């Protein structure tokens, strides 16, 4: 009897301790939770509540009937989507171009961050950072006019340089083979500044004592980068790449729509899932087809990020995202 009473008191004491611990945790983190509330509401309203509309992908949606009243067609929208070469083309372009963007942006941002770290104490460092970061805030609508000024067949800067060099300038807006490179350069111009700031913050977080010890041992700048900077940045690089892989099926609509100026002759290399969904809505008015393409985009992107994270966990558990 005494033993049962003792166990009950122990259980009661443990419950009380856990309750007090959770209460202290709530009191400590209340301000942080309050700060996160706008972001949570934003996700709830714009990311989770619209998921109800996924059902449109499986219906023949009509405005008059509404979402629930429209006829159920099952996988018919997906059969129509994958029954042509359009699905293969937009999938290939989306995956291919985003893979190139991830690789070039990561390498370019790391290089710029390391260069910025070398002049971080200089008076001009703030100017350099501002000039690199500024393109991130320029709309693709405005950037498309810059690109057109360079590539315009009549008076474009690039064409004039080619003519002066004795060459024959191509018709850029009728030659899809050039646009993977053009879009890659445009994406680098826009995103390399923002990405380099993230890596620069990671470099500045490395203990200076490591570099001082390496200098004393006679390590060159390249050896410091190879054996100190890069190993310390690996977790940050992997996390950012995993997040990018999670959005590898979400192309930058402004880049792929405005910069090529929605030219039909360039669709073989510039048409991606996002531009296809837009044209399905605006030109064809097919909401069900657009919803099916969007559902396909989200599902494959989710599978890719889970797979990539699983591979990272198999290699090094500490570097995984979750």
pLDDT for residue 159:
87
Q: Does residue 10 carry a pLDDT above 80?
A: no
pLDDT digits (tens, 9 = 90+) for 101-113: 999 999 999 999 9
pLDDT band at 8 (very low <50, low <70, confident <90, very high): very low
DSSP 202-271: HHHTS-HHHHHHHHHTT--HHHHIIIIIHHHHHHHHHHHHHHHHHTTTS--HHHHHHTTTT-GGGHHHH-
Most confident of 4-8, 179-183, 228-232, 244-248: 179-183
pLDDT for residue 11:
53
The label of the residue with tokens 């033993």 reads: 3
Q: Does residue 2 carry a pLDDT above 50?
A: no
**Residues of the chain with pLDDT > 70: what percent?**
91
Question: What pTM value is reported for the model?
Answer: 0.79
pLDDT digits (tens, 9 = 90+) for 15-73: 455 555 555 666 677 788 888 899 899 989 988 888 888 888 899 888 888 888 888 98
pLDDT band at 320 (very low <50, low <70, confident <90, very high): confident
pLDDT digits (tens, 9 = 90+) for 112-130: 999 888 887 777 777 887 8
Q: Does residue 256 carry a pLDDT above 90?
A: yes
* Of 232, 201, 234, residue with least CA distance to 214: 232
> SS3 for 91?
helix
How far, in Å, CA of 255 to CA of 140, rounded?
A: 6
* Of 239, 234, 214, residue with least CA distance to 224: 214
Domains of the chain: 2-59 (no CATH), 75-319 (1.10.3720.10)
Task: Report the mean per-residue pLDDT for the chain.
Answer: 84
Structure tokens at 9: 């008191």
Q: Does residue 184 carry a pLDDT above 70?
A: yes
| CB distance 163 to 83 below 8 Å | no
Q: Is the dihedral of CA 12, 16, 18, 22 positive or negative?
A: positive
> SS3 for 187?
helix
Which residues neighbour 317 within 8 Å (Cβ) at sequence distance 6 or greater? none
pLDDT for residue 156:
82
Helices 230-246, 179-204: inter-axial angle, 10-degree rounding: 130
Range in 4-8, 64-68, 220-224 the model is least confident about = 4-8
End-to-end CA distance of the chain: 47
Q: Does residue 13 carry a pLDDT above 60?
A: no
More confident residue, 8 or 262: 262
CA-atom Rg of the chain in angstroms: 27
Structure tokens at 119: 């002049």
> SS3 for 301?
helix
């Amino acid at each position: 009897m005494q033993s049962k009473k003792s166990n009950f008191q122990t259980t009661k004491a443990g419950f009380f301790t856990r309750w007090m611990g959770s209460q202290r945790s709530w009191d400590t983190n209340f301000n942080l939770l309050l700060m996160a509330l706008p972001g949570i509401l934003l996700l709830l309203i714009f990311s989770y509540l619209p998921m109800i509309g996924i059902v449109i992908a499986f219906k023949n949606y009509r405005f008059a009937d509404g979402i629930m009243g429209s006829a159920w067609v099952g996988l018919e929208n997906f059969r129509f989507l994958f029954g042509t070469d359009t699905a293969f083309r937009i999938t290939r372009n989306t995956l291919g171009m985003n893979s190139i963007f991830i690789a070039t942006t990561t390498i370019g941002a790391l290089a710029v961050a390391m260069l910025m770290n070398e002049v971080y104490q200089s008076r001009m460092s703030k100017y350099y950072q501002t000039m690199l970061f500024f393109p991130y805030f320029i709309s693709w609508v405005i950037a498309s006019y810059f690109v057109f000024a360079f590539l315009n067949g009549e008076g474009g800067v690039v064409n004039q340089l080619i003519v002066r060099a004795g060459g024959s300038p191509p018709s850029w807006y009728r030659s899809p083979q050039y646009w993977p490179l053009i879009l890659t350069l445009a994406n680098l111009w826009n995103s390399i500044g923002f990405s380099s700031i993230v890596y620069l913050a990671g470099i500045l977080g490395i203990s200076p004592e490591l570099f001082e010890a390496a200098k004393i041992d006679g390590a060159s700048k390249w050896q410091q980068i190879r054996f100190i900077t890069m190993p310390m940045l690996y977790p940050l690089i992997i996390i950012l790449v995993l997040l990018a892989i999670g959005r590898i099926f979400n192309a930058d609509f402004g880049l792929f729509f405005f910069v090529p100026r929605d030219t039909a002759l360039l669709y073989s290399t510039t048409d991606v899932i996002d531009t296809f969904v837009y044209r399905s809505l605006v030109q064809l008015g097919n909401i069900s087809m657009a919803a099916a393409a969007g559902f396909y985009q989200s599902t494959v992107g989710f599978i890719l990020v889970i797979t990539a994270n699983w591979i990272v966990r198999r290699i090094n558990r500490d570097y995984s995202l979750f």
